[in-house]
Structure 1
Amino acid sequence: MRTEPPPTTTTDGGRPAERAGAAADETLEDYTLRFAPRSYRRWTPMVVATTALGGIAYMADFSIGAGIGLTHGTGNALAAILVAAVVIFVTGFPLAYYGARYNIDLDLITRGSGFGYYGSVLTSVIFASFTFIFFALEGSIMAQGLKLGLGLPLWLGYLVSTLMVIPLVVYGMKALSKLQVWTTPVWLLLMVGPLVYLVASDPGTVDRFLSYGGSDGGGGGMSTGQVLLGAGVCLSLIAQIGEQIDYLRFMPPKTAANRRAWWTAVVMAGPGWVVLGALKQAIGVFLAVYVLAEAGPTAATEPIRQFTGAFDAMMPSWLVVPLAVALVVISQIKINVTNAYSGSLAWTNSFTRVTRHYPGRMVFVLVNLAFALILMEADMFSFLNSILGFYSNCAIAWIVTVATDIMVNKYLLKLSPQAPEFRRGMLHPVNPVGLVSFVAASGLSIAMYFHALGDTLQPYSPVAAALIAFVLTPLTAALTGGRYYLRRTTDGIDAPHLDADGNPSAATYECHVCRQEFERPDLAACLTHDAVVCSLCLSTDKVGDHVLPAASVGG
């Protein structure tokens, strides 16, 4: 793709070439609103997978597991973690496949999987909220580490943890791939080492862990309600698949030569992230029980206290705090560059479609960080489970709706077009299939979560969110006959969208608005000129003079 500056003249018809400069530097912008071209995707499947998995180094899993375990007991906590992991894996698989196969992010997948061009703005905002909620959570954990290790007050620790990621996020995938690959071995050693030592040196810690009954009076017995309450908190992480896809969209084309490596990378870094996530949550329960007597129930949920307790059992006291702080800082950097990066993509997607103005991704890096800092200063860590339990209902409804549309509506019922579509003009503004399913599932489950339907049903809110979305998505598609997926079925370019291997075509064309070259899936014919226009210029076309009209099948 050419990177010379675009012309400064106006586009055809006298309209300014708004944000054409952004199109000229998509390497910096990391293809924020568009298909990731083959010319840019030069990483091997394993490098992409390692980069994506580096983003799940967050410490929140330890806090989430600890909070569930200390409240509901080890047995209920482990069952809750397992239930959530199964749901996340099953729903994450089709989304990860689509992102890697067609090289688009979760917002672009959502547009063509039941929500429509503007309908997915709602879910983009929800995903952006996920990124700054978890940025704030990780920033709070890092601030706790800086307070313990360096004596920094929490408010200053919050600020440091926010500002330090900005230089790393600026350059997108190129910088993040190097960061994640080089820091992962150190992170794994610091995380796994103390656990292995404790189990090997004091087997009694395992017995105490397994027999812990929780603080809610359950006495260690299994309870469906408690399992589901815990699973609801864990399921708040279901939207993490969006961050995994932000990396997986840079996978190389799938060919006969790389088929095994390609599938391994997609499964590992796509839905497979939850395997490591579930293990970390279980470790969080273990460490919380281990330090509970000394630290107390509140501090035992803090990862910095969990790991200082573990390190203290295996090494000299002078080394304990520095190593624990190093682990927390490395983890926070690894995940929060991903949170800031993915959040900037989500906010930019939403803003550009609504306003038809593209301000650049870095503007929304700062917006996302500002929201996260506000949450940290409001001490969100103290009411963590309440935030995550509420948020999980929205996230479950969204992810299950999109996953169901792909698995059932696209492949089973054939009501939804299999090839993903995201370009303006090709999609209806709103598709009731996804929007109705999502609003009904999230609305009812949130009402249940806040006891509106009685105390008995309250623990079942995440189950309700998943079941309602799973049932309504194909039902609405059947009732509407799939009429609201595509506004037109041809984009006016007389060339195949996919190559012989089923990968997006690498053929390039010049956009007549910004005068840059883009690959075939990112373009459509122009309404008013005998030329093609790229997806970003379509998004920022304020008067619609480039957008193709609606057309029936074959139109």
Structure 2
Amino acid sequence: MSLDVESRSEPSPSEPPGTSTGSSPGAGAEAAAAGVAAGGARSAAKESLEDYTLRFAPRSYRQWGPGVVATSALGGIAYLADFSIGANIGMAHGTTNALLGILVAAVIIFVTGLPLAYYAARYNLDLDLITRGSGFGYYGSIITNVIFATFTFILFALEGSIMAQGLELGLGIPKPVGYAIATIIVIPLVIYGMKSLARVQVWTTPLWLVLMVIPVGYLVVSDPSSVGEFLDYRGENGQGPSFAAVMLAAGVCLSLIAQIAEQIDYLRFMPPKTAENRVAWWRAVILAGPGWVVFGAAKQITGLFITVYLIARLDPAASATANEPVHQFLGVYQHMMPGWLAMVLAVVLVVISQIKINVTNAYSGSLAWTNSFTRVTRTYPGRLVFVGVNLAIALTLMELNMFDFLNTVLSFYANCAMAWIVTVATDIVVNKHVLGLSPKVPEFRRGMLHNWNPVGLVSLGLSAGISIAMFFGAFGPGIAPFSPIFAVLIALVATPVTAIATRGRYYLRRTDDGIELPYTDADGNPSDELLTCHVTGLDFERPDMLRSNEPGPDGEVQYISSLALATDRTGRYVLPAQP
């Protein structure tokens, strides 16, 4: 299917429509500010590079079928950190505790990810836009954006470190140089957003699957006794079944709960859901949304399985590098083929996996940083600026050898990520559909939302704050392992309780956006009716638009896009709040 999209001409007036110069200094300043807003909005509307950073993905751009979107989204979970995570928690707590921890984490991630994936695919919004209207407010979701951006550069650093390990082992490239290569190699691929990413993910997935699945299958078939050894493994300390150990293992795995936000960065490009495509649509949403955790859990188990095999069959000293995926797959490949070919394929697998996930990390991180920066400063610097920012942070973490502190970093981060994801999921399921206190159709536009909503902020603050204090032993060492579970439980309770206490008053600043055209079509999908933004002169689809507070020259109604509002410093176009 073609990945080309309809191009729309951009006006090039000497002065943005809807602005005028006045004789007073104040009027001139307002006109200048309006001109800046128009210029920023036009920059953000350049589809080829900006990829709908600040707004919903319009139907005119969403030309992919459900299968292509799902395949692209699942390509982003090719990361090898799962193999390291499985190895680390297994070596620390034994197979039984690790398997139970992986299961606990997978269930929580799937259940919380399903409503988020549905809302993203149905309303074509990324998780930041969903978060705004699900308890956090227009500015409140900046906090969660920073949490997500942190996830992208942590995971980028982990994957870049794994690639550098492969380059050092296979080609003798020093790790510091390998870190730089792992960072630079993704830049050309991530520049053009979804167009480029879809091609990369679709074309590399078959080779990645062959390199990863066949060797492990061969190992199980050729040496069935390895399964029994795997199940009997008790870790470095000979630890038996333990609830605390299960929770510690689950805490590490739960750090990946924020992966749903990266899946959503693809799912927002799903085509409209209709009677004809509903089965394929739902299959794609479930598989590529919360379904990612099924593949992730399988990789964690596989990483532990290979690690146990290497330690038991080759050399107990192999535990020093058994958590490094390149050593894991090299050990398996060597049973199947000559050493030189095993080395080549191990390095190829590591490089392909790193590219597949890190183009997503760089892309998603750039969206999160850009969105937050623009809302705070009302200035749009361009998404590519923050591609560089995210990569610079990730490279710094790699050079600081973050890989050696994998368990600690992920366990700490899990508390923040769960507080955010569980709060939003609870708002969607409970506050929107059970209590009816939160608007069912997600709202993201400036002027429609309050700037801050205590529902999400209180829940996030309590959940993350208390669970992090527990993690660092504030309530005693016996309670510390259970911090992830407390993070989930606190968010589940605090979200509806705060909504009830505030009676849902802080969700919507307005219930009417001033446009008579319906927001959705007959199938319940966001409408594709076009309206012209009087500030930028560009056409936008109905869900992106609001009535402007500034009438036309003859008093007629004018419309303004969410892009123009996001970069407007004057506030002159924002409709007044409704009583």
Take 1:128 and 1:510, find their aligned partners in 2: how far apart are those partners? 33
Take 2:114 and 2:175, find their aligned partners in 1: how far apart are those partners? 39
| 3-state DSSP of counterpart to 2:78 | coil
Aligned residue identity for 2:283: T
Mark the CA change 1:186 to 1:231 in structure 2 (over 3 Å): closer, same or farther.
same
Displacement of 1:8 after TM fit? 4.2
**What is the aligned partner in structure 1 of residue 203 from structure 2?**
182
Aligned: 1:57 with 2:78: yes
| 3-state DSSP of counterpart to 2:138 | coil
Identify which of 281, 306, 313 aligns with 1:262: 281
Take 1:6 and 1:406, find their aligned partners in 2: how far apart are those partners? 42
Displacement of 1:21 after TM fit? 3.5
Identify which of 533, 557, 567 aligns with 1:540: 567
Take 1:24 and 1:407, find their aligned partners in 2: how far apart are those partners? 33
**What is the aligned partner in structure 1 of residue 451 from structure 2?**
429
**What is the aligned partner in structure 2 of residue 67 from structure 1?**
88
Q: Deviations over 1:111-169 (max 9, x none)?
A: 00000000000000000000000000000000000001111000000000000100000
Aligned residue identity for 2:358: N
| 3-state DSSP of counterpart to 1:394 | helix
CA contact (8 A) 1:66 1:300 kept: yes
**What is the aligned partner in structure 2 of residue 549 from structure 1?**
576
CA contact (8 A) 1:112 1:485 kept: yes
Q: Identity of aligned pairs, percent? A: 66
Give unmatched runs, 5+ long, in structure 1: none
Take 1:438 and 1:34, find their aligned partners in 2: how far apart are those partners? 24
Displacement of 1:20 after TM fit? 3.9
| 3-state DSSP of counterpart to 2:39 | coil
Aligned: 1:284 with 2:290: no
Identify which of 100, 107, 121 aligns with 1:100: 121
Displacement of 1:448 after TM fit? 0.3
Aligned residue identity for 1:198: L
Aligned residue identity for 2:230: F
Aligned residue identity for 1:382: D
CA contact (8 A) 2:78 2:354 kept: yes
**How many residue pairs align between the two structures?**
550
Take 1:43 and 1:56, find their aligned partners in 2: how far apart are those partners? 20
Take 1:484 and 1:246, find their aligned partners in 2: how far apart are those partners? 27
Aligned: 1:7 with 2:13: yes
Q: Deviations over 1:412-457 (max 9, x none)?
A: 1111010000000000000000000001000000000001110010
**What is the aligned partner in structure 1 of residue 40 from structure 2?**
19
| 3-state DSSP of counterpart to 1:18 | helix
Displacement of 1:5 after TM fit? 4.9
Aligned: 1:446 with 2:465: no
Q: Output the TM-score relative to the length of structure 1.
A: 0.98
Displacement of 1:27 after TM fit? 3.1
Displacement of 1:3 after TM fit? 3.2
Take 1:8 and 1:168, find their aligned partners in 2: how far apart are those partners? 35
| 3-state DSSP of counterpart to 1:509 | strand
CA contact (8 A) 1:56 1:335 kept: yes
Q: Which moved more, 1:116-125 or 1:196-205?
A: 196-205
Aligned: 1:273 with 2:296: no
CA contact (8 A) 1:3 1:25 kept: no
Q: Deviations over 1:316-362 (max 9, x none)?
A: 11201100000000000000000000000000111001111111110
Take 1:20 and 1:96, find their aligned partners in 2: how far apart are those partners? 28
Aligned: 1:42 with 2:48: no
Aligned residue identity for 1:186: L
Q: Deviations over 1:379-413 (max 9, x none)?
A: 00000110000000000000000000000000011
CA contact (8 A) 2:333 2:342 kept: yes
Q: Map residues 304-453 of structure 1 onto 2, 5 A cutoff.
A: 304-453=326-475
Displacement of 1:25 after TM fit? 1.1
Aligned: 1:484 with 2:511: no
Aligned: 1:136 with 2:179: no
CA contact (8 A) 1:7 1:514 kept: no
Displacement of 1:207 after TM fit? 1.2
Take 2:241 and 2:15, find their aligned partners in 1: how far apart are those partners? 69
CA contact (8 A) 1:308 1:321 kept: yes
Q: Map residues 132-211 of structure 1 onto 2, 5 A cutoff.
A: 132-211=153-232
| 3-state DSSP of counterpart to 2:540 | strand
Displacement of 1:73 after TM fit? 0.3
Give unmatched runs, 5+ long, in structure 2: 1-6, 21-30, 552-556
Take 2:108 and 2:548, find their aligned partners in 1: how far apart are those partners? 43
Aligned residue identity for 1:278: A
Aligned residue identity for 2:511: T
Take 2:471 and 2:361, find their aligned partners in 1: how far apart are those partners? 26
Displacement of 1:470 after TM fit? 0.3
Aligned: 1:521 with 2:543: yes
Take 2:41 and 2:129, find their aligned partners in 1: how far apart are those partners? 21
Take 2:43 and 2:287, find their aligned partners in 1: how far apart are those partners? 33
Q: Which moved more, 1:42-51 or 1:530-539?
A: 530-539
Q: Map residues 496-507 of structure 1 onto 2, 5 A cutoff.
A: 496-507=518-529
Displacement of 1:514 after TM fit? 1.1
**What is the aligned partner in structure 1 of residue 483 from structure 2?**
461
Aligned: 1:237 with 2:243: no
Aligned residue identity for 2:466: L
Aligned: 1:226 with 2:232: no
Displacement of 1:306 after TM fit? 0.3
Aligned residue identity for 1:313: H
| 3-state DSSP of counterpart to 1:363 | helix
Displacement of 1:10 after TM fit? 4.2
CA RMSD, aligned part only?
Answer: 1.0
Identify which of 229, 233, 237 aligns with 1:216: 237
Q: Which moved more, 1:523-532 or 1:345-354?
A: 523-532
Take 2:40 and 2:416, find their aligned partners in 1: how far apart are those partners? 33
**What is the aligned partner in structure 2 of residue 251 from structure 1?**
270
Aligned residue identity for 1:51: S
Aligned residue identity for 1:141: I
